[in-house]
Amino acid sequence: MAHDARPIDLRSDTVTRPTPAMRRAMAEAEVGDDQYGEDPTVHRLEARAAAMLGKEAALYVASGTMGNLVALLAHCGRGDEAILGDESHIFWYESGGAAALGGIAFNLRPTDRFGRLALDDIAGAIRPVRAGYPRTGVICLETTHNRCGGVALPVDYLRDVAEIARSRGVPVHLDGARIFNAAAALGVPAAEIAAQADSVQFCLSKGLAAPVGSVVTGTASFIEAARRARNLVGGAMRQAGVIAAAGLVALEEMVNRLPDDHVRARRLATGLAQIPGLVLDAATVQTNIVIFRPPSGLAPEAVIAGMKDDGVLISNYGTRGLRMVTHYEVDDAAIEATLAAAERVLAPVAV
Ligand code: TLP
């Protein structure tokens, strides 16, 4: 397996390399100019993605960041407010793009340990119509929730938010970068999750192992607006079928194996929790992400460096702790090797 020659890379599921089937599909992809609407492979990918999420239409974009950006640009005008969680990916890691390019203000709300914003807080944050108030353009949620350790938002919670949003005429955007992980964890079709939001973006390039790309889904008129926004940010591509072909393989062949990653993440979490002083919220380990804090006295940077010396790459999630993510290229042996390394590196500091 790959980790014999390479480090065990648990920094993210984004590190997954395309499978042999993806490489073949890319080489053989039928292509055309997508800006003329003539790339048949992009069309197939968009149709497949829309069908899997139960939405009218879909748009292939270069990244999850671009997917969230074009969705927010399509929902909001300049000066509008987006209600979003203070631990959301859009707030933390997307360069403030919606604010920089769309003039969209962030109305940040506290996030609980399961990735939820309180319902009454959301309801209270939606602006009444008044000349001096910004307009509330969109409510954003995230599932699985990255900084909350990969928790999946329950469908009932999403339904409750949708009801509040609908009653106030505000759309809901779901950053469903890992929506198929959420679906697997909840044991429901991804379409049931997506049905609770007006727009959903999901990534092909994470646990599904495609080399590039995300998809935005929603109504046909929303996707038309998102397509315009994609042009605006320079994201309209040409013979994109070459990469979309790998995305199709991701949807056809990689969704059903995600539960394997979840089992391995739980094994990892159970093993890590045995280490004295290590802090881990086991209830949040629901999918392929494990976040933990090292025992006090051990600096996160020292843990990362120590693990790296032992051939294991992990990432620093700052105020949240350290993160490990399981994926297609991490097998059972890699999990056991990681735990052995963690026991050495995270052993209690002698006083
Ligand atoms: N997340 C990355 C990094 O945090 C940048 C990762 O390794 O997990 N939404 C969510 C919830 C995400 O986790 C990510 C990527 C994105 C959006 C953005 O996707 P990309 O990286 O394709 O722009």
CA of 351 relative to ligand 1 center, distance in Å: 39
- Give pLDDT, residue 347: 85
Q: Whose CA is nearest to atom 7 of ligand 1?
A: 12
- Give pLDDT, residue 83: 98
- Give pLDDT, residue 62: 98
CA of 141 relative to ligand 1 center, distance in Å: 14
- Give pLDDT, residue 67: 98
| 136 touches ligand 1 (CB under 6 Å) | no
- Residue 284, preceding peptide bond in cis (omega within 30° of 0): no
Is the alpha carbon torsion for 48, 53, 59, 63 positive or negative?
Answer: negative
Among residues 50, 17, 66, the alpha carbon closest in space to that of 246 is found at: 17
What's the rounded Cα separation, in Å, for the pair 214 and 247? 8
| 84 touches ligand 1 (CB under 6 Å) | no
The most distant pair of C-alpha atoms in the chain lies apart, rounded to whole Å, by 68
Q: Whose CA is nearest to atom 5 of ligand 1?
A: 93
What's the rounded Cα separation, in Å, for the pair 222 and 232? 15
What's the rounded Cα separation, in Å, for the pair 317 and 93? 11
What's the rounded Cα separation, in Å, for the pair 324 and 338? 10
CA of 81 relative to ligand 1 center, distance in Å: 22
- Give pLDDT, residue 1: 42
Using an 8 Å Cβ cutoff, are 136 and 83 in contact? yes
- Give pLDDT, residue 350: 58
Rounded average pLDDT per 10-residue block, the chain, 351 residues = 73 98 98 97 98 98 98 98 98 98 98 98 97 98 98 98 98 98 98 98 98 98 98 97 98 98 98 96 98 95 97 96 98 98 85 56
Q: Which helix (H) or strand (E) holds 176?
A: none
CA of 94 relative to ligand 1 center, distance in Å: 9
pLDDT, one tens digit per residue, over 179-196 is 999 999 999 999 999 999
Q: What is the pTM of this model?
A: 0.97
Please report, for the chain, the start and end positions of each structural domain, with discontinuous segments joined by +: 8-16+257-350, 20-253
- Give pLDDT, residue 310: 96
What's the rounded Cα separation, in Å, for the pair 71 and 336? 41
- Is the domain spanning 8-16+257-350 CATH 3.90.1150.10? The answer is yes
pLDDT, one tens digit per residue, over 66-90 is 999 999 999 999 999 999 999 999 9
Give the CATH fold of the 20-253 domain.
Answer: Aspartate Aminotransferase; domain 2 (3.40.640)
| 88 touches ligand 1 (CB under 6 Å) | no
Atom of ligand 1 nearest to the CA of 203: 22
